[in-house]
Amino acid sequence: MNLSPSVSVQQTDTGLEYISVDADLCSAKIFLQGAQLTEFTPKGKKPLIWVSQDEDYQVGKGVRGGIPICWPWFGMSTNDGWPQHGFARTMLWRAEEVVENDDKIVVSFSLPMAQVNKEYWPHQSSLKVVFTLSDHLHIELINTNTGAAAFELTQALHTYFPTPEIENTTVDGLQGSNYIEFGEGPYTQNDIVSFARETDMVYQNTPLVQTINTPDGIIEVGRENSSSCVLWNPWIEKSKRLSNFRDDEYHTMLCLEAANVMDDKVTLQPGASHSLVHTVRWL
Protein backbone atom coordinates (compact mmCIF):
# COMPACT_ATOMS: atom_id res chain seq x y z
CA MET A 1 0.00 0.00 0.00
CA ASN A 2 1.40 3.38 -1.01
CA LEU A 3 0.91 6.18 1.50
CA SER A 4 0.34 9.83 0.69
CA PRO A 5 2.30 12.76 2.21
CA SER A 6 -0.37 13.37 4.87
CA VAL A 7 -0.79 9.72 5.86
CA SER A 8 1.42 7.48 8.01
CA VAL A 9 1.18 4.14 9.79
CA GLN A 10 1.71 4.35 13.54
CA GLN A 11 1.35 2.05 16.53
CA THR A 12 -0.01 2.29 20.06
CA ASP A 13 2.03 1.22 23.09
CA THR A 14 -0.07 -1.96 23.11
CA GLY A 15 0.96 -2.86 19.56
CA LEU A 16 -2.16 -1.89 17.60
CA GLU A 17 -1.38 -0.34 14.22
CA TYR A 18 -3.39 2.57 12.89
CA ILE A 19 -3.40 4.86 9.91
CA SER A 20 -2.85 8.45 10.95
CA VAL A 21 -4.07 11.33 8.77
CA ASP A 22 -2.83 14.88 9.31
CA ALA A 23 -3.90 16.89 6.28
CA ASP A 24 -4.93 20.46 5.51
CA LEU A 25 -8.58 19.36 5.52
CA CYS A 26 -8.74 17.17 8.63
CA SER A 27 -7.03 14.82 11.04
CA ALA A 28 -8.07 11.20 11.59
CA LYS A 29 -7.06 7.81 12.97
CA ILE A 30 -8.25 4.46 11.62
CA PHE A 31 -7.12 1.22 13.28
CA LEU A 32 -6.39 -1.89 11.25
CA GLN A 33 -8.08 -3.88 14.01
CA GLY A 34 -11.75 -3.62 13.12
CA ALA A 35 -11.06 -1.00 10.45
CA GLN A 36 -12.24 1.25 13.26
CA LEU A 37 -12.05 5.01 12.94
CA THR A 38 -11.37 6.58 16.34
CA GLU A 39 -10.71 10.21 15.40
CA PHE A 40 -12.06 12.63 12.83
CA THR A 41 -11.58 16.37 13.24
CA PRO A 42 -12.10 18.84 10.38
CA LYS A 43 -9.42 21.53 10.50
CA GLY A 44 -10.52 24.53 12.55
CA LYS A 45 -13.45 22.64 14.11
CA LYS A 46 -14.10 20.43 17.11
CA PRO A 47 -13.79 16.62 16.97
CA LEU A 48 -16.75 14.77 15.49
CA ILE A 49 -15.97 11.40 17.10
CA TRP A 50 -15.82 10.37 20.79
CA VAL A 51 -13.61 7.77 22.51
CA SER A 52 -13.61 6.95 26.23
CA GLN A 53 -10.76 8.34 28.30
CA ASP A 54 -10.41 4.86 29.82
CA GLU A 55 -9.87 3.09 26.47
CA ASP A 56 -6.64 1.04 26.59
CA TYR A 57 -6.48 -0.28 22.98
CA GLN A 58 -5.97 -4.00 23.56
CA VAL A 59 -5.40 -6.59 20.84
CA GLY A 60 -8.56 -8.59 20.17
CA LYS A 61 -10.82 -6.24 22.10
CA GLY A 62 -13.21 -3.68 20.61
CA VAL A 63 -12.48 0.00 21.22
CA ARG A 64 -14.99 1.86 23.40
CA GLY A 65 -15.78 4.72 21.07
CA GLY A 66 -15.04 5.71 17.49
CA ILE A 67 -17.04 3.83 14.84
CA PRO A 68 -17.09 0.06 15.48
CA ILE A 69 -18.24 -1.97 12.46
CA CYS A 70 -20.95 -4.35 13.69
CA TRP A 71 -21.04 -7.22 11.18
CA PRO A 72 -22.52 -9.68 10.13
CA TRP A 73 -25.00 -9.36 12.97
CA PHE A 74 -26.00 -6.47 15.19
CA GLY A 75 -26.45 -6.97 18.93
CA MET A 76 -26.51 -10.41 20.54
CA SER A 77 -26.37 -13.46 18.30
CA THR A 78 -29.09 -16.09 18.58
CA ASN A 79 -26.24 -18.58 19.08
CA ASP A 80 -24.92 -18.84 22.65
CA GLY A 81 -21.35 -17.69 23.11
CA TRP A 82 -21.00 -15.93 19.79
CA PRO A 83 -19.50 -12.42 19.97
CA GLN A 84 -21.83 -9.47 20.45
CA HIS A 85 -22.12 -7.29 17.33
CA GLY A 86 -20.36 -9.90 15.19
CA PHE A 87 -16.65 -10.53 14.70
CA ALA A 88 -15.52 -7.88 12.20
CA ARG A 89 -14.82 -5.23 14.85
CA THR A 90 -12.06 -7.28 16.51
CA MET A 91 -10.46 -8.81 13.41
CA LEU A 92 -7.40 -7.45 11.65
CA TRP A 93 -8.41 -5.85 8.34
CA ARG A 94 -6.17 -5.28 5.34
CA ALA A 95 -5.41 -1.68 4.34
CA GLU A 96 -5.85 -1.68 0.57
CA GLU A 97 -5.33 1.84 -0.73
CA VAL A 98 -4.75 5.47 0.20
CA VAL A 99 -5.52 8.16 -2.39
CA GLU A 100 -5.04 11.85 -1.61
CA ASN A 101 -5.91 14.87 -3.71
CA ASP A 102 -6.67 18.53 -3.00
CA ASP A 103 -10.18 18.01 -1.68
CA LYS A 104 -10.17 14.58 0.00
CA ILE A 105 -8.26 11.56 1.26
CA VAL A 106 -9.70 8.12 0.56
CA VAL A 107 -8.62 5.14 2.70
CA SER A 108 -10.01 1.66 1.94
CA PHE A 109 -9.85 -1.64 3.84
CA SER A 110 -10.98 -5.22 3.22
CA LEU A 111 -11.77 -8.02 5.65
CA PRO A 112 -9.63 -11.13 4.88
CA MET A 113 -12.36 -13.73 4.51
CA ALA A 114 -9.90 -16.64 4.65
CA GLN A 115 -9.38 -15.78 8.34
CA VAL A 116 -13.09 -15.76 9.22
CA ASN A 117 -14.40 -18.58 11.42
CA LYS A 118 -16.62 -20.58 9.06
CA GLU A 119 -18.88 -21.54 11.95
CA TYR A 120 -19.77 -17.85 12.33
CA TRP A 121 -19.98 -17.10 8.61
CA PRO A 122 -20.15 -20.03 6.15
CA HIS A 123 -21.12 -17.82 3.20
CA GLN A 124 -18.93 -16.74 0.29
CA SER A 125 -18.72 -12.97 0.36
CA SER A 126 -16.46 -9.95 0.45
CA LEU A 127 -16.57 -6.98 2.81
CA LYS A 128 -14.89 -3.63 2.20
CA VAL A 129 -15.05 -0.25 3.91
CA VAL A 130 -14.05 3.03 2.28
CA PHE A 131 -13.43 6.18 4.33
CA THR A 132 -13.54 9.48 2.46
CA LEU A 133 -12.08 12.26 4.62
CA SER A 134 -12.49 15.94 3.81
CA ASP A 135 -14.31 18.72 5.69
CA HIS A 136 -16.80 15.95 6.51
CA LEU A 137 -16.71 12.17 6.91
CA HIS A 138 -18.17 9.72 4.37
CA ILE A 139 -18.08 5.95 5.03
CA GLU A 140 -19.21 3.20 2.69
CA LEU A 141 -19.50 -0.40 3.94
CA ILE A 142 -19.75 -2.68 0.90
CA ASN A 143 -21.03 -6.27 1.04
CA THR A 144 -20.82 -8.53 -2.03
CA ASN A 145 -22.18 -12.06 -2.40
CA THR A 146 -19.46 -13.98 -4.26
CA GLY A 147 -21.12 -17.38 -3.86
CA ALA A 148 -23.98 -19.33 -5.42
CA ALA A 149 -26.54 -19.03 -2.58
CA ALA A 150 -28.37 -16.06 -1.08
CA PHE A 151 -27.71 -15.01 2.52
CA GLU A 152 -28.94 -12.45 5.06
CA LEU A 153 -27.08 -10.15 7.42
CA THR A 154 -27.60 -7.26 9.79
CA GLN A 155 -25.01 -4.55 10.35
CA ALA A 156 -24.34 -1.13 11.83
CA LEU A 157 -21.76 1.64 11.88
CA HIS A 158 -21.87 2.19 15.64
CA THR A 159 -20.83 5.86 15.71
CA TYR A 160 -20.02 7.54 19.05
CA PHE A 161 -20.58 11.32 18.98
CA PRO A 162 -19.29 13.91 21.46
CA THR A 163 -21.32 16.42 23.43
CA PRO A 164 -20.27 18.63 26.34
CA GLU A 165 -23.57 17.90 28.11
CA ILE A 166 -26.04 15.15 27.20
CA GLU A 167 -28.78 16.78 29.29
CA ASN A 168 -28.70 19.76 26.90
CA THR A 169 -28.46 17.66 23.73
CA THR A 170 -31.32 16.69 21.42
CA VAL A 171 -31.75 14.62 18.25
CA ASP A 172 -34.05 15.94 15.52
CA GLY A 173 -35.28 14.12 12.41
CA LEU A 174 -36.58 10.89 13.93
CA GLN A 175 -40.17 12.11 14.16
CA GLY A 176 -42.66 9.75 12.54
CA SER A 177 -40.37 6.71 12.85
CA ASN A 178 -41.31 3.58 14.75
CA TYR A 179 -38.93 2.24 17.39
CA ILE A 180 -38.34 -0.69 19.71
CA GLU A 181 -36.83 0.03 23.13
CA PHE A 182 -35.66 -2.65 25.60
CA GLY A 183 -37.54 -5.24 23.54
CA GLU A 184 -40.86 -3.39 23.76
CA GLY A 185 -42.89 -1.60 21.11
CA PRO A 186 -43.14 -0.58 18.36
CA TYR A 187 -43.79 2.96 19.48
CA THR A 188 -43.98 6.08 17.32
CA GLN A 189 -41.47 8.88 17.81
CA ASN A 190 -43.57 12.04 17.95
CA ASP A 191 -41.10 14.62 19.22
CA ILE A 192 -37.47 15.67 19.11
CA VAL A 193 -35.51 13.25 21.32
CA SER A 194 -33.99 14.53 24.57
CA PHE A 195 -32.03 12.57 27.19
CA ALA A 196 -32.97 12.08 30.83
CA ARG A 197 -32.55 8.29 31.26
CA GLU A 198 -30.95 5.25 29.62
CA THR A 199 -31.78 5.32 25.90
CA ASP A 200 -31.61 2.27 23.62
CA MET A 201 -33.94 2.81 20.68
CA VAL A 202 -33.89 0.83 17.42
CA TYR A 203 -35.70 2.87 14.77
CA GLN A 204 -37.37 1.68 11.58
CA ASN A 205 -38.73 3.58 8.52
CA THR A 206 -36.43 6.44 9.45
CA PRO A 207 -35.68 9.61 7.44
CA LEU A 208 -32.22 9.63 5.87
CA VAL A 209 -30.90 12.67 7.77
CA GLN A 210 -30.88 13.55 11.47
CA THR A 211 -29.25 16.38 13.41
CA ILE A 212 -27.64 16.16 16.83
CA ASN A 213 -28.04 19.52 18.55
CA THR A 214 -25.28 19.97 21.15
CA PRO A 215 -24.03 23.00 23.13
CA ASP A 216 -20.94 22.89 20.86
CA GLY A 217 -22.95 23.03 17.62
CA ILE A 218 -25.08 20.93 15.28
CA ILE A 219 -23.89 17.61 13.83
CA GLU A 220 -25.62 16.36 10.69
CA VAL A 221 -25.83 12.57 10.37
CA GLY A 222 -26.89 11.03 7.05
CA ARG A 223 -27.42 7.52 5.69
CA GLU A 224 -27.98 5.83 2.34
CA ASN A 225 -29.38 2.34 1.65
CA SER A 226 -30.59 2.24 5.23
CA SER A 227 -34.04 2.80 6.73
CA SER A 228 -33.02 1.89 10.29
CA CYS A 229 -30.82 3.47 12.93
CA VAL A 230 -29.98 3.05 16.59
CA LEU A 231 -29.86 5.73 19.31
CA TRP A 232 -28.01 4.89 22.53
CA ASN A 233 -26.84 6.42 25.78
CA PRO A 234 -26.12 4.15 28.77
CA TRP A 235 -26.97 6.75 31.46
CA ILE A 236 -26.02 6.26 35.11
CA GLU A 237 -26.41 2.61 36.12
CA LYS A 238 -25.31 0.95 32.88
CA SER A 239 -22.24 3.20 32.71
CA LYS A 240 -21.02 1.58 35.92
CA ARG A 241 -21.17 -1.87 34.26
CA LEU A 242 -19.43 -1.00 30.98
CA SER A 243 -15.79 -1.86 30.40
CA ASN A 244 -13.39 0.91 29.37
CA PHE A 245 -15.98 3.55 30.26
CA ARG A 246 -15.85 6.02 33.14
CA ASP A 247 -18.91 6.18 35.37
CA ASP A 248 -19.64 9.79 34.40
CA GLU A 249 -18.85 9.61 30.66
CA TYR A 250 -22.50 9.18 29.68
CA HIS A 251 -22.60 12.98 30.13
CA THR A 252 -20.27 13.49 27.15
CA MET A 253 -21.43 11.05 24.44
CA LEU A 254 -24.24 9.45 22.49
CA CYS A 255 -24.44 6.93 19.67
CA LEU A 256 -26.51 7.44 16.52
CA GLU A 257 -25.81 4.44 14.32
CA ALA A 258 -26.42 3.91 10.62
CA ALA A 259 -27.84 0.41 10.38
CA ASN A 260 -29.55 -2.37 8.47
CA VAL A 261 -31.42 -4.17 11.26
CA MET A 262 -34.77 -5.85 11.93
CA ASP A 263 -37.07 -5.37 8.90
CA ASP A 264 -34.21 -3.49 7.21
CA LYS A 265 -31.85 -6.50 7.19
CA VAL A 266 -29.85 -7.10 4.01
CA THR A 267 -30.63 -10.07 1.76
CA LEU A 268 -27.99 -10.58 -0.94
CA GLN A 269 -28.57 -12.76 -3.98
CA PRO A 270 -25.57 -14.36 -5.76
CA GLY A 271 -23.46 -11.67 -7.41
CA ALA A 272 -25.31 -8.80 -5.71
CA SER A 273 -23.78 -6.01 -3.62
CA HIS A 274 -25.08 -3.65 -0.95
CA SER A 275 -23.48 -0.42 0.30
CA LEU A 276 -24.34 1.07 3.69
CA VAL A 277 -23.36 4.75 3.51
CA HIS A 278 -22.87 7.00 6.54
CA THR A 279 -22.03 10.72 6.44
CA VAL A 280 -21.14 13.02 9.34
CA ARG A 281 -20.48 16.78 9.36
CA TRP A 282 -20.66 19.91 11.46
CA LEU A 283 -23.30 22.32 10.21
- Kindly name the residue from 100, 140, 249, 257 that is annotated as catalytic: 257
State the Cα–Cα distance between residues 63 and 56, nearest whole angstrom.
Answer: 8
- Kindly name the residue from 158, 249, 251, 278 that is annotated as catalytic: 158
136 given a catalytic annotation? no
249 given a catalytic annotation? no
State the Cα–Cα distance between residues 171 and 229, nearest whole angstrom.
Answer: 12
112 preceded by a cis bond (ω within 30 of 0): no
Long-range contacts of 147-151 (CB under 8 A, 24+ apart): 147/123, 147/270, 148/124, 148/270, 149/123, 149/270, 150/267, 150/268, 150/269, 150/270, 151/123, 151/125, 151/267, 151/268
Q: Is 58 assigned to a binding site? A: no
Q: Is 64 assigned to a binding site? A: yes
Annotated binding site: 64, 84, 89
Catalytic residues: 158, 257
**Sequence ranges of the binding site for substrate:** 64, 84, 89
